[in-house]
Chains A and B, each alone.
Chain A
Amino acid sequence: MTEKTLTPPPHTEPVVFTRDMLDWLPWLEPMAEANMTERHLASLVDAARVKSPYFRLLARDPDVLEARTHTDKDIFYNPEAGLPRAERELAAAATSRLNGCIYCASVHARFAATYSKRVDDVQRLLDEGVGARLDERWEAIVAASVALTTLPMSFGKAHVERLRKAGLDDAAIADLIGAASFFNWANRLMLSLGEPATQG
């Protein structure tokens, strides 16, 4: 039997990039909480994610979801050395801005603003896009994220040299590569399996 996609309930679609909290409405049926086995629940890693239709949809393939979640958490939350959290979030927000994932950009722009306290710079990235004037270090991080995201990829030695000049060591550059690359994963899932909606 052929399955059908879902038609989301009436909602307001966000038409600009924003730091506001958004909802996400799936186009495919998430697992019903009642039908989830221990394996499915464990794949969420955080028990609270059972309330999220996005994670209950991805839980249909629990092994991939679980591995993906642990990858995500280490790239962004591991506090040891490397790139400061604010700038990992900046790379995620810039990647999401370029790919056009309004939902992902909203989450990671909020984190970037919270951790950096540079609310105006983060908002300028959302409003103007990846060409926004920031400062040299942030522009170098955004430019590297862009070069890793566009196809064909154009990330090259000049990007590495610019980042080093801006004060990033190789551990920080590896974090940037991890964060921008990871959002090329996350953006594609968020963009293609459902749509954002404004709250309230």
Chain B
Amino acid sequence: MVDVIDQLVGIAPGSKLDTIRANRSEARKHAQASHDSLFRPKSFGGVTADERHAIAAFVAGLHGEPRTDAFYSAKLPATLRGVIAAEVVSARTTGPYGRFPKGPLSTEDAPGPTWKVSETGAKALGRRLTAAFEHTHMLVFHPRDAAAPSLQSLLDAGWSTTDVVTISQLVSFLAYQIRVVAGLTVLASTP
């Protein structure tokens, strides 16, 4: 069985990082099980394989970690590759930004834009993925701006409550996996 984190970081069997990861064998095994349950689930439910890969490629593009970006882009249907790459270019920014609840923390507010898919992108992606991408941008860059209406936009676009849970897990899992890959890659290359 392939371990995606090991593969992307380039962790060789018997290496120092292999031993370190082996000492957290449950975390290692279940990080991969999380990946598998999102991308190779027993049942895709209301979120198709192509939809999952489209969202994943967008998330990876937004993070800009080169190994994960290449990994998830390669899984895209060819018809979506150019479209998603163009949306990534328009969507990439810095984070985390967003507002805090009104009160003492308001002095730390870092308000920023709510990103929208381009018209061309929306045509190619369709209503469901367009809503999913707009929600994904918020989750990746300004999650503290989240509010119930952002979830309603997903429901209005035709996703079910259970689909929204799956999409939220997918984006949030990738926020984890990509950082582990980035972090361990730096650790492995710092003698």
Contacts and interface: CB of A to CB of B under 8 A. Distances in A.
Given A5-B151, A170-B16, A191-B144, 7 more contacts: A28-B161, A61-B166, A63-B33, A71-B26, A171-B23, A178-B24, A189-B169
A-B complex: 9 closest residue pairs judged by Cβ atoms: A15-B103, A100-B144, A177-B183, A74-B26, A74-B27, A63-B37, A181-B179, A67-B33, A185-B176
Interface of B: 16-17, 20-21, 23-27, 29-31, 33-34, 36-38, 41-42, 45, 62-65, 93-96, 98, 100-105, 108, 138-141, 143-144, 146-152, 155-156, 158, 160-162, 164-166, 168-169, 171-173, 175-177, 179-180, 182-184, 186-187, 189-190
A66 B108 CA distance: 35
Interface string A108-140: 000000000000000000000100000000000
Contact of A174 (B138, B160, B166, B184): B184
B186 A73 contact: no
A152 B48 CA distance: 29
Given A2-B155, A177-B187, A193-B151, A188 B143 contact: yes
A5 B147 CA distance: 10
Contacts, number: 209
A90 interface: no
Given A177-B187, A187-B143, A192-B146, A15 B105 contact: yes
Contacts of A13: 101
Interface in A135-164: 148-153, 155-157, 159-161
A87 B140 CA distance: 25
Interface of A: 2-7, 13-17, 27-29, 57-58, 60-61, 63-68, 70-71, 73-75, 78, 80-82, 98-102, 129, 148-153, 155-157, 159-161, 170-171, 173-175, 177-178, 180-182, 184-189, 191-193
A6 B23 CA distance: 42
Instruction: Classify the secondary structure of B's interface with A.
Output: helix
Contacts of A68: 30, 34, 169, 173
A149 B95 CA distance: 8
A178 B96 contact: no
25 contacts: A2-B158, A3-B161, A13-B101, A15-B100, A15-B102, A29-B161, A58-B165, A60-B166, A61-B169, A63-B33, A64-B37, A64-B166, A65-B169, A67-B33, A74-B25, A74-B27, A100-B96, A129-B108, A151-B93, A157-B189, A180-B183, A181-B183, A188-B139, A188-B143, A188-B171
